[in-house]
């Protein structure tokens, strides 16, 4: 059975990746699973300088979902390269680095530094809803998004470039098209949906940041629809993210048009989710008599 999928020039041994911000820098999961088994590890968003993140409370639970406003806390490029990347390099798994900046120049510097270190891929976080100065304007402004992507594209040679899209739009296909036209090798979607919860006893937002991003099974139907729309609008591969809890959900995304999927919130509930999903996909394909996983990508039938 062949689980291999291709995202741009990257060959993944299976379509199961981790979603940025939910898998730390990989180390946190090494005691639970064999990291070699993953298609790719996408690490927590990295900025040029370390960021301390938002004050607590940073998370809360909602029906079949959770809100987070971590505020992009990260150790910064330098410490990432010095302390975290060497560890990840030990595994036979692709390493994709999620990056975020305030300006196009920030993104370019990050991308170049990471290409120099030969990471396997770069995922542009243009869509994180939690910090005002951050990538968010790129994620909702088509022109800016195009300029950002082509800027980064030109500044790096062959490293895989993925653009991660913002779900809060009525025309995801247009953003997908811009990513493709500006030189993105793939798109990933969706990031969390901006949301909010209030503690009605004390009349305060449950998050110190007031709003946060909704993730988990609650958003999966929205994510599947967006992946379906985006994958019909572009030729580059689409990576499906949002509420994948098990292999059935992963298969749903792939039938909708995703070439690979990322597992986020599920890792918190069950740190073995990713490998259980890989096993589950294999079992499903066996049951269905399918030898090559690419046969299910976008295989949705109509009427």
Ligand X SMILES: Cc1cc2nc3c(=O)[nH]c(=O)nc-3n(C[C@H](O)[C@H](O)[C@H](O)COP(=O)(O)O)c2cc1C
Binding site for another protein (CB under 8 A): 21-24, 28-29, 31-32, 44, 52-53, 55-61, 63-66, 68, 70, 73, 216-217, 245, 265, 267-272
The least CB distance from residue 3 to another protein, in Å, is 24
Number of residues that bind a second copy (CB under 8 A): 50
246 binds a second copy (CB under 8 A): no
The least CB distance from residue 212 to ligand X, in Å, is 9
The least CB distance from residue 272 to another protein, in Å, is 6
What does the H/E/C string look like for the chain?
CECCEEECCEEECCCEEECCCCCCCCHHHCCCCCHHHCCEEEEEEECCCCECCCCCCCEEEECCEEEECCCCCECHHHHHHHHHHHHHHCCCCEEEEEECCCCHHHHHHHHHHHHHCCCCEEEEECCCCCCCCCCHHHHHCHHHHHHHHHHHHHHCCCCEEEEECCCCCCCHHHHHHHHHHCCCCEEEECCCEEEECEECCCCEECCCCCEEEEECHHHHHHHHHHHHHHHHHCCCCEEEECCCCCHHHHHHHHHHCCCEEEECCHHHHCCCHHHHHHHHHHHHHHHHCCCEHHHHCCCCCCC
64 binds a second copy (CB under 8 A): yes
241 binds a second copy (CB under 8 A): no
The least CB distance from residue 216 to another protein, in Å, is 6
Of the candidate spans 21-29, 71-79, 109-117, 200-208, the one that interacts with a second copy by CB under 8 A turns out to be 200-208
200 binds a second copy (CB under 8 A): yes
Is 64 noted as a catalytic residue in this protein? no
Closest to ligand X by CB, 2 vs 83, is 83
301 binds a second copy (CB under 8 A): yes
How far is the C-alpha of 258 from the C-alpha of 222, rounded, in Å? 14
Q: Which of 60, 64, 128, 301 is catalytic?
A: 128
Among residues 30, 112, 155, 211, the one that binds a second copy under rule CB under 8 A: 211
The least CB distance from residue 219 to another protein, in Å, is 12
Residues that bind a second copy (CB under 8 A): 62-65, 67, 139-140, 166, 168-171, 193-198, 200, 202-205, 208, 210-211, 214, 216-222, 224-225, 228, 243, 248, 251-252, 255-256, 284, 296, 299-303
Q: Give catalytic residue positions.
A: 128
């Amino acid at each position: 059975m062949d689980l291999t999928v291709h995202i741009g020039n990257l060959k993944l041994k299976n379509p199961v990746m981790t979603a940025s911000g939910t898998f730390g820098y990989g180390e946190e999961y090494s005691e639970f699973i064999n990291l070699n088994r993953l298609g790719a590890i996408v690490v927590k968003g990295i900025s040029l300088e370390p960021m301390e993140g938002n004050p607590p409370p940073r998370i809360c639970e909602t029906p079949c979902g959770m809100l987070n406003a971590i505020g992009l806390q990260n150790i910064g490029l330098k410490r990432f390269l010095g302390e975290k990347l060497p560890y990840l390099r030990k595994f036979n798994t692709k390493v994709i680095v999620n990056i975020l900046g305030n300006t196009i120049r920030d993104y370019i510097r990050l991308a170049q530094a990471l290409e120099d270190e030969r990471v396997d891929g770069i995922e542009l976080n243009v869509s994180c809803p939690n910090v005002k100065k951050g990538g968010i304007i790129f994620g909702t402004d088509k022109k800016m998004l195009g300029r950002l992507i082509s800027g980064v594209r030109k500044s790096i040679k062959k490293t895989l470039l993925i653009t991660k899209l913002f779900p809060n739009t009525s025309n995801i296909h247009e953003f997908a098209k811009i990513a493709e036209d500006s030189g993105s090798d793939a798109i990933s979607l969706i990031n969390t949906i901006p949301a909010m919860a209030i503690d009605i006893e004390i009349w305060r937002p449950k998050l110190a940041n007031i709003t946060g991003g909704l993730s988990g099974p609650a958003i999966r139907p929205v994510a599947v629809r967006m992946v379906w729309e985006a994958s019909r609008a572009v030729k580059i591969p689409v990576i499906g993210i949002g509420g994948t809890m098990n292999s059935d959900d992963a298969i749903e995304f792939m039938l909708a048009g995703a070439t690979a999927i990322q597992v986020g919130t599920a890792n918190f509930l069950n740190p073995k989710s990713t490998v259980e999903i890989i096993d589950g996909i294999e079992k499903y394909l066996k049951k269905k008599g399918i030898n090559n996983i690419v046969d299910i990508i976008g295989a949705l039938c109509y009427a």
